[in-house]
Amino acid sequence: MRRVAAAAARRGGQAVLVAVTVGALSFLLVHLLPGDIALRIAAGRYGYDLVSVQAAEAVRAELGLDRPVLVQFAEWLWRLGRLELGVSLVTGERVAAEIARQLGATLTLSFAALALSIPIGPALGVLMGLRPGGVLDRAGLAVASALRAVPSFVLGVALIILVSVELGALPAAGHGEVENIVLPAVTLALGLAAVSSRVAREAMAEVRAAPFFAFAETKGLTRRAVLWRHGLRNAAVPIVAFLGVQLVSLVEGVVVVESLFAWPGIGHALVHAVIARDVPMVQGTALVLGLIFVLLNAAVDLACLALDPRAGRR
Amino acid sequence: MLRLLVTLLLALAALPAAIAEERTLRVVSPWEITSLEPSRAGYVFTRMEVAETLTGADDGGLATPALAASWTVSDDGLVWRFRLREGARFHDGTAVTAEAVVAALERARAAPGVLGNAPIASFAALPGTVEIRLTRPFVALAAFLAHFSTQVLAPSAYDAEGRVRAVIGSGPYRVVTVEPPQRLEVARAETWEGPPPAIGRASLLAAGRGETRAALAESGQADLVYTLDPASLERLKRNPRITVIARPIPRTITLKLNAADPRLADPRARAALSAAIDRQGIARAILRAPEMAATQLFPPTLAEWHVPGLAPLAHAPEHAEALLAELGWRKGPDGILVREGRAFRLTLRTFPDRPELPVIAAALQDQWRRIGVALEVSIGNASEIPAGHRDGTLEVGLLARNFSLVPDPIGTMLQDFSPGGGDWGAMGWSSEAMARALAALSATTDAAERARLRGEIAAILQAELPILPIAWYQHTLAASKRLAGVTLDPLELSYRIAAMRWAE
């Protein structure tokens, strides 16, 4: 129990550090980007048909963008201290409310993708690892390499054309109904499974080559029993750690996939916020993503601790 | 038991009708619902016929009654009175009052947009009538009032701080749910006093990717899909379940030139650059619509502004080279023109929001290289063009200019070609004749005089070329054949759903 508390405290400290660093970095980066920030915000608000220097000046005055950058940053920190994320410069809505809505959509999509990828990736990987160099292993390598090499955008368009346009089986885009999630989730899951199958295969192959595995077989246990009692748990530690990393890297794929499937998630919102120089939105989104990374790492730590108690004792 | 059975059968028989009643028309467009604020994404709610403006416009851009049933103008042209449509009610059941309209107009005038550019002195709310006083006669006022930023919302639409909390309009449809930035659902409004629309429910999905929109149209998962890329358009035309409608709209792809730059100051230099452009080639290969190559600023469909007798902008590279030689430019060893030790190198700024712009920029780079003008292409954000206009660093800008921000192009023309130029229009160029013609055109109602003035404006633009028109624009729509009564509004004021019905 003490070990769990220590791990939690360590991650808690990290969370505060992440919050301040991410906030400062995103603030700095947005201000370093080329172009006049007031003009960009005005373009985001009114669309480029209506954007003019006059509109930009109105935005600058309204938001106090001509004040020193340090003053603006101190203001953000002060608000953050009171757990306020501020108001979006483009939509005028509270950042917290916008993120809550978009994060829900992104997490739903991410977990659906991860859930779909597990039976495809790690499960197949374990089977491949049991017979390294076998037909399944070699075919798996080819398919995984191909899937990993194809950008998720191309994979998504291919799935839309095949499943939605040709077969008419699933909606090509949108959200609000259950079937809307299938195509974006499959697009992401295939990319995830491509890598996680290889990690699982390596982990399983290593366990299979270990002396304890050979001993379990020698002492006469059935293959199934060997796999269940000695194989899976030992192979699971690197796989679980890797799945944690994958959830994090999902964000990268989510940005493109969300735009393609018109999914109202946080990746899509982040891209738009950066283009429109919506500083509070960028900061808030990056902050929430950063904290999720910390949270996921903590969860992975705890899961690995549960799978392999030796790690904590050392 | 028997009665129950009969009731059940009757209910079953009624079921298809009930389903048809509840069928939702699905609209897909690229433009996101970034805000509920009328001056920001207000077009979403006017196009979906939720909110109304005082006036509308027909396909030719002439003002038509909307929330205002009729209007009168005083003899001196300074006092306009708009009589509100009788029985008009907001979706919360309250009557549309002149006070509500005035409040909306005041908001629109304060926000960046078009109304601030009209010479308005004051608004007044009279019983059932809105009075607008002007500082000088301004004929295009009725057109300005069709702009989405002037949409009229109910007093209950605003919160205590004056922000829009819900879009409560007076149109034939009311908002059911709105999920920014991508979804909006509307249903027939019971408060609508006109004939009830045949389509009971409609939804709008904002899909930013052209590929996604095309797939939604192709698979029949959307009934009205707006703004398609040229390649998808060709494929959709062959789909038997879809009607493709394409109409030229008052949006023109133009090159904005900095006429204050010594290399571009002489009209002959601008004429040379214009003659070096193969507009036919660009329209055919990039836009896949050869008829969209611009021969002057406005397309023939915009009958009021297109001048048939004008000598067309033509592709004549030899003429271009001769003009530049006349101006003292000589080819250097690398094939680039040089004058007084300075090479003819320009930087073009453009942006990718309209996907064809960067491709056209690449074509221009090649075409100008052939006459010895080196063009560097810089692709950034749209706001780089007005920013470069203001600080004077812009040399060439490639953009798609909307001349129907208000249905009458005069609104945009005044912004773009008044002395000093405009953020999206002329730069470092001014013409007294142009200023006089524009002022006269905004003041006179005499049809013959207006036509003459428009001809004069077009002739000045064609002779002096402060901007180079490249191609006209098509507004495109893929409509499901399940729908009847589909028309495409070239001014993009409305999706016109209330006038459609299901075909079967």
pLDDT tier for residue A311 given thresholds of 50, 70 and 90: low
Mark which residues 334-353 of B lie under 8 Å from A by CB. Answer: 351, 353
A264/B179 CB distance under 8 A: yes
pLDDT for residue B1 is more than 50: no
Q: Answer whether A172 sits within 8 Å of B216, measured CB to CB.
A: yes
Nearest CA in chain B to A168: B219
What is the C-alpha separation between B345 and B12, in angstroms, rounded? 75
In B23-42, the residues whose Cβ lies within 8 Å of chain A are 31-32, 34-35, 37, 39-41
Nearest CB partner across the interface for A262, out of B114, B180, B212: B212
Residue B440 to residue B453: CA distance in whole angstroms = 8
Task: Residue A49: list chain B partners with CB under 8 A.
Answer: 402, 405
Amino acid (1-letter code) at residue B386: P
How high is the pLDDT of residue B14?
47
Query: Residue A33 and residue B334: Cα distance in Å, rounded?
Result: 35
Q: Dihedral sign, CA of B187, B191, B194, B196?
A: positive
- Taking the CA of residue B277 as centre, how many other CA atoms within 13 Å lie in the half-sphere pointing to its CB? 25
Say if residue A251's pLDDT is above 70.
no
**B398: closest CA of chain A, how far (Å):** 13
Compute the nearest-CA separation of B54 from chain A (Å): 20
| A contacts of B220 (beta carbons < 8 Å) | 168
User: Contact B28/B226 with Cβ under 8 angstroms?
Assistant: yes
How many angstroms separate the CA of residue B260 from the nearest CA in chain A? 19
- Dump pLDDT digits (tens) for B153-174: 999 999 988 889 999 999 999 9
B468, β-bridge pairs: B255
Q: What residue spans define the domains of chain B? A: 2-50+171-223+482-502, 55-157, 249-474
Mutate which of B211, B239, B381 to disrupt the A interface (most A C-beta within 10 Å)? B381
Nearest CB neighbour to A48, from listed B37, B353, B389: B353
Give B426's pLDDT tier (boundaries 50, 70, 90): very high
Rounded mean pLDDT of A11-31? 82
Residue B339 has pLDDT above 90, yes or no: yes
- pTM here? 0.81
- Predicted pLDDT at A196: 84
Q: Which residue has the higher pLDDT, A225 or A138?
A: A138
d(CA A246, CA A197): 12
Say how far apart CA B241 and CA B235 lie, in whole Å.
12
Contact B468, B254 (CB under 8 A): yes
First to last CA, chain A: 15
pLDDT attached to residue B9? 47
CATH architecture of the domain formed by B249-474: Roll (3.10)
Taking the Cβ of residue B255 and every Cβ of chain A, the question of whether any pair is shorter than 8 Å is answered with no
Paired residues of B330 in beta bridges? B338
User: With 90 as the cut, is the pLDDT of residue A270 above it?
Assistant: no
Token pair belonging to B154: 């109910």
Helices (H) and strands (E) in chain B — how many of each? Answer: 14, 21
Q: Give the residue from B383, B404, B423, B427 with the most A CB atoms within 10 Å of its CB, the best one to mutate.
A: B383
Do the Cβ atoms of A86 and A79 come closer than 8 Å?
A: yes
B44 to chain A: which residues are within 8 Å by CB? none
* Cβ atoms B302, B61 nearer than 8 A: yes
Measure B209 CA to nearest chain A CA, in Å: 6
**DSSP at B477:** E
Give the DSSP H or E segment for B257: strand B242-257
| Cβ-contact B173, B497 below 8 angstroms | yes
Mean pLDDT for B424-442 is 92
A146-155 pLDDT per residue, tens: 888 888 888 8
Furthest CA-CA distance within chain B: 103
Measured CA to CA in angstroms, residue B115 lies from A40, B47, B71 at distances of: 22, 19, 18
Distance separating alpha carbons of residues A259 and A262, to the nearest angstrom: 5
For the purposes of burial, counting CB atoms within 10 Å of the CB of B10, is it exposed (0-12), middle (13-18) or buried (19 or more)?
Answer: exposed
| Nearest residue to B287 via CA among B470, B479, B465 | B470
Nearest-CA distance from B3 to chain A in Å? Answer: 37
- Determine whether domain B2-50+171-223+482-502 maps to CATH 3.40.190.10: yes
- Residues in chain B within 8 Å Cβ distance of A101: 179
How many CB pairs (< 8 A) connect A and B?
A: 131
> Which residues from B are below 8 Å from A157, CB to CB?
211, 215
Interatomic CA distance for residues A60 and B301, integer angstroms: 40
Q: Which residue has the higher pLDDT, B427 or B17?
A: B427
Which of B118 and A238 is assigned the larger pLDDT?
B118
Average pLDDT value for residue range B138-152:
92
Residues of B with CB below 8 A from A176's CB?
179, 183
Q: Tell me what pLDDT residue B484 has.
A: 95
For B:183-202, CB contacts with A below 8 A are 183
Which single residue is written with the structure tokens 């040399």?
Answer: B395
Half-sphere exposure of A46 (CA within 13 A, CB side): 27
Task: Find, in chain B, the residue whose alpha carbon is nearest to that of A171.
Answer: B221
Give the per-residue pLDDT at B15: 45
CA B324 to chain centre: 36
The per-residue pLDDT for A199 is 84
> Are B389 and A53 a contacting pair at CB < 8 A?
yes
CATH superfamily of B55-157: Dipeptide-binding Protein; Domain 1 (3.90.76.10)
Q: Å from A55 to nearest chain B CA?
A: 5
Tell me the mean pLDDT in the region A137-141.
Answer: 86
The answer to whether B55-157 and B249-474 have equal CATH topology is no
- ipTM surpasses cut 0.85: no
Q: Would you call A36 and B383 a contact, using CB atoms and an 8 Å cutoff?
A: yes
Query: Would you place residue B20 in the very low, low, confident or very high pLDDT band (cuts 50, 70, 90)?
Result: very low
Measure CB to CB from residue B180 to each of A47, A91, A174 and give the nearest one. A91
The Cα A51–Cα A36 span in angstroms is 13
Distances in whole angstroms, Cα of residue B180 to Cα of each of A171, A224, B205, B206: 20, 52, 10, 9
Distance CA B118, CA B141 (A): 7
- Kindly report, residue by residue over A87-133, the tens digit of the pLDDT: 888 777 788 888 888 888 888 888 888 888 888 888 888 888 888 88
Residues of chain A neighbouring B47 (CB-CB closer than 8 A): none
Q: Catalogue the E-assigned strands of B147-227.
A: 173-179, 183-188, 201-206, 224-226
Q: Tokens standing for B467?
A: 């901007």
- Tokens 């990987």 found at: A125
pLDDT at A252: 63
Mean pLDDT across chain B, nearest whole number?
Answer: 90
- Report d(CA B294, CA B211) in Å as an integer: 27
Structure confidence at residue B12 (pLDDT): 47
- Which residues on A lie below 8 Å from B381 (Cβ)? 35, 40, 43, 275
pLDDT at B504 over 80: no
Interface touch B386/A52, C-beta < 8 Å: yes
Angstrom distance (rounded) from CA B207 to CA A268: 11
CA distance readout (Å), B504 to B94, B479, B482: 36, 15, 7
What distance in Å separates residue B39's CA from the closest CA in chain A? 7
pLDDT grade, residue B3 (50/70/90)? low
